[in-house]
Structures are given as C-alpha cells and as structure tokens.
Structure 1
Amino acid sequence: MTGLPLAISLGDPAGIGPEIILRAYQQRKNGGQPFFVVGGFDVLHACANTCGVDCDIIAIADAREAVGAFDEGLPVLVGSDAAYTPGSPSEEGAALALHSLAETVRSVLLGQASGVVTAPVSKSQLGKVGFDYPGQTEFLAAVCGLAPEDAVMMLAGPTLRTVPITVHVALTEVPVLLSQELIEHKAMIVDAALKRDFGISAPRLAISGLNPHSGEDGQFGDEEARIIKPAIKALKAKDVNAFGPVPGDSLFTPLLRPSYDAALCMYHDQALIPIKALEFDQGVNVTLGLPIIRTSPDHGTAFDIAGTGKADACAMIAAIRMAGECAASRAHP
C-alpha cells in the first residue's frame, strides 16, 4: 500500500456506480488502500438512502484530507453534483460523470492520488456533453499526452488476463486492422506493464490465432502465417517470451491457462468472452501503458437495476484492490 489514496470517479450517477462505490467502502478490509470519490456528495447520500447502504459519507475539500478521513467514512471531494435519478440518465448526470473523471485524473497527475479507479459511464450520454472519445481509455491516453494505440486495455481476474489487439471495431474490419507492427507494439506494452505494475519478472505471453484452428496451414486464412507468426518471431528477438499462434478454441482451456500470464487476442470478443464467462464478478479493466494507474470494474452502468439495491460490488472491490497493488508495485519496484 502507498501513502497516497486512490481517486474514484463517480461514473454515470443514474447507473450503479454510486451504489457499488458505497458498498466497496462498506465491505472494505482493515488495512486496505484508502480511497476518495470525486464529486457527487448529494448523489451518494441519496443513493445510500435509496439502496439501503449503511455508510457514513464525509465531505472533504482537498484530496490530502482523504487518508485521515477514510476510517470515519467515505471521503468525497465536494464540488460538482447532480440529482440522483437511478435508471434515468440525464445530461446533468453526464456532465457530473465527465467532471468527476477529469478531476480524478488531475488528482493523480498532481501527485495527490496514487491511481484512478473509474466507475461505469454511458458513452452515448457523455457524447451529449461534448465527450469526443470512443471511451474512457482513449480519454485517459489523450490527457496523458499519448496516442490511443499506446493505451492498452487488459481484462484481469484472479486466474486470467486477456488483451484485445483490436478493440471496438466491426468484426469485418479486424483482418484489415491487424498488422505485425500492431501486435508487436501492444505486446511490448503488456510485457513492460506486467513487470512494472504486477511484479512479474519474466511475463509469458500467449498470442492467439485469428482464424479457426489458427488457419490450418492456410486453409482457413493466411493471417497467422503472414502477420501473427512474424510478430511472435520479432517479439522473441526482443527477449519477449511470446508463443503461438494458439487456436482461440483451445487458448482458454484449463490445461493451457496456467502456461501464460496474459493472452493477447486478435479481437474484442475473443478476449472478453472468456474473462466474463470465467471471472465476471471479479473482472477488472486495467489500462496498460499509461504513466498513471487506471482500473475499472469490467461491466457497464446497468441502468436497469440502478437504485434497486441489487448491484454487486465485487468487481469494483477487485478494481480498487488491483489499483492499490499496482500502485504498491510501482512504488517498490
């Protein structure tokens, strides 16, 4: 654990973000990483009452007050706020979500927090208030002065880590976007991040194939021979312990999962289906390659159950725990 708290963004206040933050504080373990929420003091109070969460909430005016206040209640950096309208997103709520996100990043960049944990947002709602990014990951990359491809999304659970090489694109675009350079670039970022943030001295990277049976010697496509195998060869020449291409239908079997520290997959669903099927309640979205630490629960806003008291905080708890562990790893390499 570091001496600095984590900064938590509120997410869309009409979603389950406020509830899972409150429950994460309520279910905290003694000696856990302190954290504070940016904005939404009234939202959190209303959510606690609506969802029946017994949680003291403490207003703070400065992030430096968070550690001292954490044992007494959930510290909330006061400022922006909105009405609590669970299940009914609004532009007012989206503006609060965007402000909270921006200020959490600012607190880390100013050295007031050790990392960022982002609650779920609605991309369509953010778009209505001027958010011009595909998602929070691309926003964080831009704020940190990086190109979008320098921020790599990894989904992590207790026993599995997966990385999509291509992310939010149509499946028909994947073969066009794949390149040896792209695979090498993302694999190098993953290798460095596993060393720096997860304390794995010699990461093992499994690289998936794109086509059924990894192409079956060209019968079902040539991307393996033309793109993926040359990328693996180049990575090995750079002392990255990469192997494959492993067929997608066998990469996540119980026999193979212990043989790698992260699986690099060619497209979104190839990476996300296994993590959500196997470790949904504890899945964490980690952004690799940033100068700051960022994690997020691997689920959405769940507007349909917001305000009902049914939200499960396990993924938020896991995201907070992982951000704290990554911060400690960077502080004590």
Structure 2
Amino acid sequence: MGNSPSADSSGSYRRHGPQFTDRIVAEPSGETEWTVEPGRYRLVVSLACPWAHRSLIVRRLMGLEDAISLAIVDPLQDDRSWRFSLDEDGVDPVLRQRHLEEAYLARDPEHGTDNGVSVPALVEESTGRLVTNDFPHITVDLGIEWAKYQRPGAPTLYPPELRAEIDAVNEGVFHDVNNGVYKAGFATRQSRYEEAYTALFARLDELDERLADQRYLVGDHITEADIRLFTTLVRFDAVYHGHFKCNRQKLAEFEHLWPYARDLYQTPGFGDTVDFDHIKRHYYQVHTSINPTQIVPLGPEPAAWLEPHRREDLGGSPFGPDGTPPAPLDGPLRPLPPLDM
C-alpha cells in the first residue's frame, strides 16, 4: 500500500505492481538476489496496510523477530507518504530516516513520491537502501528462504505439494477480494463500482461455500492462502463494508467465512498483529476524497472476534501435526495517542 489511490480515465482503480522486485534468498545466483543474513535487513510495515500485514504475520509465525528487525510507520501519511513520526523525534532509530521515501531514494535517486512509496519494504540497515517492496514474494521468501533461522515448530506455509492449489486460490482472492475492495472503493463510475462489487461478493460466496466442510482454504493447516485472505477479512466490517461501499452484507453475516476469520484471529500470529486503531485512522483520515470529514467510526466492537468459532470440529491444526504456536507478544505493537477531539 502506498499513496492515496485514484482511478484512471475509465473510472477503474488500477493497482501498480511492486517496482523493486529483488529477492532475499539463501543461495543468491544473480544481481537481483540478496543473501539471507540475520541482522542485515529491516522490515518496514504499516499496521493499517493489508499487504504489509501479511509480512508481519509471517515474520511472527516463522519466529524471525531476532533475524529481521521491525519498523512501524504512522498510519497517517504526509506529502512524502509513509513517515516514522511514531518514533522518538520522528526518526527511525535504526535507519536514521524520517520517511520511507529516503530508502527508495537511496536505492534509486530518480525515484520520487509520485512513483509510489509502498509497504511492506525490506531495507538494508547499514546503507538505508531499499532492497525490495515485492509484497507477494516477501512472505513466500520469509517462509522458505529463511528456514535456517526460523523457530522450532514453525509451520510450512507454502508446501510444495499444495503450491498449485494455493496459487490458484490466491489468484482469485487477489483480483476479486484483496484488490476487489479497492476497485469498488475507488471507482469513479457506477458501472466500474458495480463490476467490482459483483465480483467481490461472488468470490466471497464461493469461499464461504469452500469453507463449509474444511477448516482452512488449502490442506489441513494454515498456508499462504489463509494469510492473504485474512488481512482483507479482518478489515472488512471496520472499513470496506461502509468506507468502500462493499455493503451487500458484513463479514459477520457469512455463515462460514465469519467463524473461519475468528478462528484465524484467535490463532497466535494473526489477531495479535491486528490494530484496529491504526486501520481505521488510516482509511478514514487519509482517503479524504471518500471521507472528507475524516471522522473515524467507533465500531464495530472488536470483542466479537473472540467469540467461540468451533472450527476445530472440522479437523486440522493451525501449525500442522508437528508445529507449535509462536510465543506470546509482550504487548501491543505500536499504540497511538487518542484522537484529537
């Protein structure tokens, strides 16, 4: 997620793919591959952003906190996009930067804010230089390439025997759900909005049916597919239902998707990386073309996410037969000050 999105001349929202697609791998073989090395990289995320949230979940599930440091940006952007204004003196203590744009400029001096400054981003600590903002591959590589430094009991999120099915599920979820809510929310023509809205709920209906008799989207434990869907679902009722006009029904009104989402939320690594305050402040205060008053809604009540789900009756286990949950977090990731009244 980068700067405030907009529609093209047809009234359709177009998402631009990552511009820096280098990979961090265990055995580099080319100029665009960097070496896995603990303490070398800093993961920069926004707790508001669903695309960045994926990498935060995977880092935690894999137990890579000691290997890859974490920076959390302010959910509110300025004219230079994501900023480190939640840190002391507004400067990231490791990168010594005020804006993530500085890491982009260190990588490419010709890169300006107009070209997009997005999270998640992996930045080399010693140089402050952006390595990659390739959000689809960041999570896959954290799950595979960093195996040497993962915690005991870490799950296998992208098992070879299930990759074709995971990829197929992810493809539909990306176009119709992850990106679909944005296509509905930022459409500037009625027809484009209705196309996105129809595709979104057709896909959600399909997923709801898929989850009627299986606990997870693919296989019998959490995979990349569940992580990619969850970060949209957890924002659905708080943001997308009203703010993006995705209002045929709430997530809480789906027979199977709602208990499925609660099951994931109550799994260590998922709910403990959700911050509804960051989420709502970003969407409702940054997207002034949609919400010019910048009023942030108080609801919905987050306690509903802790209601029993009974999905364990379908079998399977979150981390696989030999997996274990990550250790509990010490506290909230990055609390915000009270809203100005």
Task: Give the TM bin, normalised by the shorter chain.
Answer: under 0.3
Question: Which structure: greater strand fraction?
Answer: 1
Which has more radius of gyration? Answer: 1
Q: Which has the higher contact order (CA 8 A, sep 6+)?
A: 1
TM-score where L is the length of structure 2 = 0.27
